[in-house]
């Protein structure tokens, strides 16, 4: 990739910085897998003396009374300092204070900090600083495990670099390859990609290579270094130049030396502002112990009790997200599902509706558990407990971001006790019980049962409209269901039940 002439020079005048934290949100290969990390890797904590054997450690915990640093004091270019101010980033966060000076010295960095602490800014600013000093196309490659996160990082880079002419290209699955190829042909400065689709382009797009890349970033590095992406990552690392800087960032980092060696780090500096897996102080965490039979009733009760807030509800399967969304809609609650079996456009549409506050409840699988920065999320509900305790850290990190407060409630049934104990062990503390008046909860039982029946009918209609391979048929409206508010299937069944009986049923259902 030869460097380009005039276009390059556009990059020398700019500002802005990547928005807060970026932990990743969903896997491209199997968006729903709750994380295929081995259980042994599960409860590991990143220790100061591990990782790549000889990694230096900068530990933000050992600091004495903290002095407010300015962006300029970190050594950043004047233009980027202005960009930070315009984005209303008053002062660097802990991880930014520790990571940016090290990155500016040209060292490889392993960054570990809790979710919502500004990790994206910690790698975006040094990259833009270096780009201003040495403008070049195909300058940096950012790998993320999820598509939604890739779009979020791109938005932040573009916001930061709007005045300096930074060009970004997002390369993810589920989108048109031809338009992505055209974008890559324009030689962007920053490529943000999920591993699978990037490999497709490397193998199929004539003349496209990554030989000029100066920076490689793995966001949600523990997931990227996971076995799910092993083949793709090996192919990508083979075609990258050996002389490059590599940054690994995540809230939960693997300490397995083998995995870290795959990233080809050179004398990395480990920057950690927390020496164990933890959540931010502003997050209030609770658990609620309930019989599995009444899970839905308790969910509706909590949504009513905390009405007026914005919710993210995490379920374990695609089917559960759809079923729960339908049930809540039948009760008149503005819920929208997000899961890996939806088309990419539908997923982005669902996310945008929630971000724009058109819907107050987003029901998702672990597709949305990493990295997504939606400032207005007030409450996270773990409706289904995560199989891997590290996923809990990422889920609850969707609220209480960048200094705001938030609440997380985990539903524990008689079958989840062991999984829940693992989470408490990982956090190193016991969570308080969320108190509910049982009488008030059970008063909702009849209405919830009716809504469950409606949801079952609707779900049956959707199942019937799927193709032989479990995918929605073209033009049958199945895929449109994912974010439509219509209950056509259930209404049709009730209306066409045959003769006057069907009409009576429909009237009864309407009255209820």
Select from 232, 243, 293, 242 the least CA-distant residue to 415.
293
Q: How far apart are the first and last CA of the chain?
A: 66
pLDDT number for residue 244: 95
Rounded-to-integer distance, Cα 289 and Cα 416, Å = 9
Which residues, 6 or more positions from 138, have their beta carbon under 8 angstroms from its beta carbon?
Answer: 1, 187, 188, 189, 191, 210, 212, 213
- What pLDDT does residue 67 have? 61
What is the DSSP secondary-structure string of 161-203? HTTTT--EEEE-TTS-HHHHHHHHHT--SEEEE-HHHHHHHHH
Q: Which residue has the tokens 């009790």?
A: 305
Distances in Å between the Cα of 39 and the Cα atoms of 388, 412, 414 are 7, 20, 21
Q: Which residues face 249 on adjacent strands?
A: 111, 219
Three-class SS of 356-386: CCCCCEEEECHHHCCCCCCCCCCEEEECCCC
Cβ neighbours, 10 Å, residue 436: 14
Are 369 and 358 spatial neighbours (Cβ–Cβ below 8 Å)? no
- In sequence order, which residues have a C-beta less than 8 Å from that of residue 173 and are 6 or more positions away? 28, 147, 194, 196, 197, 344
Residue 200 exposed, middle or buried by CB count within 10 Å (0-12, 13-18, 19+): middle
Sequence-separated (6 or more) residues with CB below 8 Å from residue 262: 225, 233, 234, 237
CA distance 8 to 385: 49
Answer whether 150's CB lies under 8 Å from 170's CB.
yes
CATH class in words for 73-272? alpha beta
Mean pLDDT, each 10-residue run in order, the chain (512 residues): 44 39 39 41 40 49 58 90 87 92 94 84 93 94 94 90 87 94 95 97 94 95 88 94 94 77 86 73 93 96 96 96 96 93 91 94 92 88 94 91 87 96 93 94 96 94 66 40 44 39 44 48
What is the C-alpha to C-alpha distance for residues 80 and 128, in angstroms, rounded to an integer? 8
- What does the DSSP assignment read for 250-308? ESS----HHHHHHTT-SS-EEEES-SS----TTEEEEEEE--GGGHHHHHHHHHHHTTT
Q: What is the pLDDT of residue 257?
A: 67
Cβ pair 286, 434 in contact under 8 A: yes
Q: How far apart are CA 290 and CA 302, in angstroms?
A: 13
**Order of strands across the sheet with 406-412?**
283-289, 406-412, 379-382, 311-314, 361-364, 335-338
Q: Considering the domain 283-468, what is its CATH architecture?
A: 3-Layer(aba) Sandwich (3.40)
Q: Where do you find CATH 3.40.50.300 in the chain?
A: 73-272, 283-468
Residue 95's closest CA among 65, 58, 67? Answer: 58
| pLDDT at site 116 | 77
Q: What is the pLDDT of residue 51?
A: 40
């Amino acid at each position: 990739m030869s460097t380009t002439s005039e276009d390059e020079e556009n990059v020398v005048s700019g500002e802005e910085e990547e928005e807060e934290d970026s932990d990743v949100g969903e896997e491209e290969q199997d968006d729903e897998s709750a994380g295929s990390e081995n259980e042994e890797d599960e409860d590991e904590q990143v220790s100061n003396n591990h990782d790549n054997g000889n990694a230096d450690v900068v530990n933000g915990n050992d600091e004495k009374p903290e002095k407010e640093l300015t962006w300029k004091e970190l050594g950043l270019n004047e233009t980027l300092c202005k960009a930070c101010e315009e984005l209303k980033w008053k002062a660097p966060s802990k991880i930014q204070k520790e990571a940016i000076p090290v990155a500016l010295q040209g060292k490889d960095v392993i960054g570990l900090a809790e979710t919502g602490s500004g990790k994206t800014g910690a790698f975006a600013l040094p990259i833009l600083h270096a780009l201003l000093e040495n403008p070049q196309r195909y300058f940096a490659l950012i790998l993320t495990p999820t598509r939604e996160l890739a779009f979020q990082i791109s938005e932040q880079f573009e916001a930061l670099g709007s005045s300096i002419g930074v060009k970004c290209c997002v390369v993810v699955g589920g989108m048109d390859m031809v338009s992505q190829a055209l974008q890559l042909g324009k030689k962007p400065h920053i490529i943000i990609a999920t591993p699978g689709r990037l490999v497709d382009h490397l193998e199929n797009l004539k003349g496209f290579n990554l030989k000029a890349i100066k920076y490689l970033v793995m966001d949600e590095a523990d997931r990227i270094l996971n076995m799910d992406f092993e083949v793709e990552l090996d192919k990508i690392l083979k075609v990258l130049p050996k002389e490059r800087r590599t940054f690994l960032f995540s809230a939960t980092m693997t300490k397995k030396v083998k995995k870290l060696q795959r990233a080809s780090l050179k004398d990395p500096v480990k920057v950690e502002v927390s020496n164990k897996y933890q959540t931010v102080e502003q997050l209030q965490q609770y658990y609620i112990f309930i019989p599995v039979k009444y899970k839905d009733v308790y969910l509706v009760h909590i949504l009513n009790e905390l009405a007026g807030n914005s919710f993210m509800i995490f379920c374990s399967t695609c089917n559960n997200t759809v079923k729960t969304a339908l049930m809540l809609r039948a009760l008149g609650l503005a819920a929208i599902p997000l899961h890996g079996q939806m088309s990419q456009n539908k997923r982005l549409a669902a996310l945008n509706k929630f971000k724009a506050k058109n819907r107050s409840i987003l029901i998702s699988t672990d597709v949305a558990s990493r990295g997504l920065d939606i400032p207005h999320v007030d409450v996270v509900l773990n409706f289904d407990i995560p199989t891997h305790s590290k996923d809990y850290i990422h889920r609850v990190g969707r609220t209480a971001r960048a200094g705001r407060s938030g609440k997380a409630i985990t539903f524990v049934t008689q079958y989840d006790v062991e999984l829940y104990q693992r989470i408490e062990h990982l956090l190193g503390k016991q969570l308080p019980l969320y108190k509910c008046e049982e009488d008030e909860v059970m008063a909702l039982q009849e209405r919830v049962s009716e809504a469950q029946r409606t949801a079952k009918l609707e779900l049956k209609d959707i199942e019937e409209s799927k193709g032989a391979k479990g995918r929605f048929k073209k033009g049958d409206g199945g895929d449109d269901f994912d974010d439509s508010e219509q209950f056509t299937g259930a209404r049709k069944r009730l209306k066409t039940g045959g003769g006057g009986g069907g009409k009576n049923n429909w009237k009864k259902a309407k009255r209820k």
